[in-house]
Amino acid sequence: MISVGLIGYGYWGPNLARNFDETDGVRLAAIADGRADRRDAAGRRHRGIVTCEDASSLIALEDLDAVVIATPLETHYPFAKAAIARGKHVLVEKPFVGSISHAEELAELAYKHDVRLMVDHTFVYNGAVRRIRSLIDSGDLGELLYLDSVRVNLGLLQQDSNVIWDLATHDLSIMDYLIDARPVAVSADGTAAAGFEHENVAYVTVHFDNGFLAHFHVNWLAPVKMRQMLLGGSQRMVVYDDTDPAEKVRVYDKGVDVDVNDRETRRRILVSYRTGDMHAPTFDRREALSLVAQEFAESIAQHRPPLTDAAAGTRVVALLDAAERSLRADGRRMAL
């Protein structure tokens, strides 16, 4: 039985608490939050739990095997460092940390202390996303050509960071999971409209070594909620619409055939399009976060790296960092 403590019982914390509570082989033992009302709520919902006022008290608890960190970004590094230093396994909310050097330092520290360090890239555990990965693996999509992602809506509370760190993290982690090619450069553009301090409308482009192109639109000022991803393949193309209650994943038997021989004899490319059936496969509808909790527990029990380990977290931080640098440099393309 793995004993887990949770730091942060704000927006996402209660979801983590509930899911760890229902995970086999795990005991949710402690919750830390600076606000008394949240500690009360945690105590009511999770009987017999230890509640702490600050993170360090929780980390200091002797009988905890693992710590889950669901606090603002700037605290991820110190809390994770302290927990690892005490030999605890650590699950950190996305985004992992605010800088590549912090990410690499934590990864090294976890290696040294032989503890599991996992990042909560929740969407990697989403049934729809995993279904798309299996479509890629089966070769059904053919050669992957591009990924286009839109994640927009109206709404945000007080924010200390821009929309890229908040929303694009999700999509970059999906991209990191789905695309095997190596990203080589990132550019980003955006605007802090309506008097905001940080960018609230932004676009991120990721270039890959094999010519694959990924593009992300993230926006806190959109009148409608959209969560849509296009994944173009030479054989088939996928539309993943997370707002569709019924058919989130649609596979279009559409593709492009280029007559290469013809190209040599004539200047113009002859292209023919195939249009066929559309297919909406079923997929695992379980809550992604329950699989996150399960993967964390199993990686500890089996003494193996979790699927979304510190390396995955670091890769996503590197993309965010490059996007941020590009934003500050008039959208110039930044090498990774």
Residues 225 to 284: which contact a second copy by CB under 8 A? Answer: 225, 230, 232, 234, 237-239, 243, 245-247, 250, 252, 254, 256, 258, 260, 263, 268-271, 273, 275-282
CA angle 62, 63, 67 (to 5 degrees): 90
Rounded to a whole number of angstroms, the minimum distance from the CB of residue 185 to a second copy is 8
Closer residue to a second copy, CB minimum distance, 156 or 311: 156
Closer residue to a second copy, CB minimum distance, 80 or 322: 322
Closer residue to a second copy, CB minimum distance, 136 or 278: 278
Closer residue to a second copy, CB minimum distance, 220 or 296: 220
**Do 125 and 175 form a contact (C-beta atoms < 8 A)?**
no
Among 46, 88, 217, 315, indicate the residue that binds a second copy (CB under 8 A).
217
**Do 124 and 308 form a contact (C-beta atoms < 8 A)?**
yes
Please identify, among the stretches 99-107, 168-176, 183-191, 303-311, the one whose residues bind a second copy according to the rule CB under 8 A: 183-191
The answer to whether 96 contacts a second copy (rule: CB under 8 A) is: no
Size of the site for a second copy (CB under 8 A): 71
The answer to whether 296 contacts a second copy (rule: CB under 8 A) is: no
Rounded to a whole number of angstroms, the minimum distance from the CB of residue 245 to a second copy is 7
Closest by CA to 58, choosing from 45, 68, 47, 48, is: 68
Among 101, 211, 302, 304, indicate the residue that binds a second copy (CB under 8 A).
211
C-alpha distances in angstroms, 332 versus 120, 207, 230, 278, 319? Answer: 30, 13, 25, 39, 14
Distance CA 310, CA 94 (A): 11
**Do 55 and 36 form a contact (C-beta atoms < 8 A)?**
no
**Do 322 and 185 form a contact (C-beta atoms < 8 A)?**
yes
Closest by CA to 64, choosing from 49, 75, 47, is: 49
- Chain CA centroid to CA 329, Å: 25
Among 70, 175, 201, 327, indicate the residue that binds a second copy (CB under 8 A).
201
Closer residue to a second copy, CB minimum distance, 237 or 310: 237
Rounded to a whole number of angstroms, the minimum distance from the CB of residue 105 to a second copy is 28
Among 187, 299, 308, 314, indicate the residue that binds a second copy (CB under 8 A).
187
Within residues 38-77, the interface with a second copy by CB under 8 A covers none
Which residues contact residue 221 at a Cβ distance below 8 angstroms, ignoring those fewer than 6 apart?
Answer: 154, 193, 194, 200, 201
Distance CA 295, CA 89 (A): 13
**Do 192 and 200 form a contact (C-beta atoms < 8 A)?**
yes
Closer residue to a second copy, CB minimum distance, 63 or 160: 160
Closer residue to a second copy, CB minimum distance, 11 or 273: 273
Within residues 152-171, the interface with a second copy by CB under 8 A covers 152, 154-160
Within residues 298-327, the interface with a second copy by CB under 8 A covers none
Rounded to a whole number of angstroms, the minimum distance from the CB of residue 6 to a second copy is 20
Q: Prior bond to 78 cis, omega within 30?
A: no
Q: Beginning with the edge strand found earlier in the chain, give each strand of the sheet holding 2-7 in spatial order.
A: 50-52, 26-32, 2-7, 66-69, 89-93, 117-120
The answer to whether 181 contacts a second copy (rule: CB under 8 A) is: no
Rounded to a whole number of angstroms, the minimum distance from the CB of residue 130 to a second copy is 16
The answer to whether 197 contacts a second copy (rule: CB under 8 A) is: yes
Rounded to a whole number of angstroms, the minimum distance from the CB of residue 55 to a second copy is 22
HSE-up of 113 (CA within 13 Å, CB side)? 21
